[in-house]
Amino acid sequence: MTVDTAVDPAGGGAASEPELVQLLTPEGQRVPNEHYDALIDDIGTAEIRALYRDLVLSRRVDSEAVALQRQGELGLWASLLGQEAAQVGSGRALRQQDHVFPTYREHAVAWCRGVDPAQLLGLFRGVDQGGWDPRENNFHLYTIVIGAQTLHATGYAMGVQRDGALGTGDPDRDTAVVAYFGDGATSQGDVNEAFIWASVTNAPVVFFCQNNQWAISEPLERQTRVPLYRRAYGFGFPGLRVDGNDVLACLAVSREALQRARDGEGPTLIEAFTYRMGAHTTTDDPTRYRLGSELEHWRLKDPIERVKAYMVRGDMADQAFFDDVEAESESLAEHLRTACRQLPDPSPESIFDHVYVDPTPPLLAQRDEMKTYLDSFTDEEAQ
């Protein structure tokens, strides 16, 4: 597999190609690219329609969860609005045996991995410590601590090395690991430590940074003097920047980086240049720190509208198709509303259940003491 020709891993700075890989303009026009076109030459009309469906449905999951939070059904929600293409493009590049270590905003990646969106809600409703079994879809639990999952991913990738699941040529065995994080996480020590470990061990991990321009209220220019992807050069592995609102470009660059990892060629940093059109979380008010004109500028680069324009321009879908997708999104929203309100409250003692594989005697004593205390209220009510 060829290393991305758009970067200069040794020297820092753009080589002969533009820094930002783009295959689909905001107006929905296809941009030819001799290198990356070959990586998506299997994407025909059916596949484009499938990607559009992923984008629309993942956005509906997000908007419905925001509505549920506003209705008091969720304590918090971290919106992905505007970042659907980065997540769907990279998510659809994964193979079944690959592993994903997300932050707390990768709802569209979860969708691509087959996680029921209703399972995402338990954590944000406060009734579950995770919501899904990571072993079922190789999609690990959300990580609230900024950047911590990059170390988890790197460690897991080193384990993949030791299992010999690299470079065998078996497409069902060779495994890559991907760590998702935002631009704010690149200022964390954990991320830099993960870069070092991944580089010196040649670990099969793809660092997928969604640069959405804001680390809560801190703009990118206050975090770095150079494009984020160029940091990879200092650690000794390739980096590149892709249009994060272009699902085709994200799919192409992710396929290449993941295959490099599976072939045993080490880590890659992908900077998906995108924009968080919503709030950081539902506790945030972005109107206090960013201009409305900036938001309007990025609305014109909407990742869903450009795919729709591309499909209409190429006569790849008619109104009936778009209506069907819309109807499906309505059904999905109803599923989320119903499932959310049916999530059971946990028993108070369950907070002790997942601390250790083998609970310690002091912990068991604390659980029993708490149960006795809670049962005392039941006894009083019965009298």
Helices and strands of the chain, counted as H and E runs:
13, 8
Nearest residue to 239 (alpha-carbon basis) of 275, 276, 191: 191
In angstroms, the Cα distances linking 31 to 28, 208, 249 are: 9, 23, 10
The CA distance from 19 to 22, in Å, is: 9
State the catalytic residue, choosing from 260, 280, 306, 367.
Answer: 280
Q: Where are the beta strands (DSSP E) in 105-236?
A: 177-182, 205-211, 214-215, 218-219
DSSP 261-283: HHTT---EEEEEE----S-SSTT
Active site residue 280: yes
Task: Examine the residue annotation and report whether 92 is marked as an active-site residue of this protein.
Answer: no
Rounded Cα distance between 63 and 31, Å, is 31
Query: In Å, what is the CA distance from 331 to each residue of 61, 171, 336, 338?
Result: 11, 35, 9, 11
Q: Which of 30, 289, 297, 313 is labelled catalytic?
A: 289
Catalytic hit among 59, 60, 113, 276: 276
Contact in structure between 94 and 115 (CB atoms under 8 Å): no
Distance CA 370, CA 365 (A): 9
Q: Vertex 166, ends 151 and 185: CA angle to 5°?
A: 20
For the annotated catalytic residues, the residue numbers are 276, 280, 289
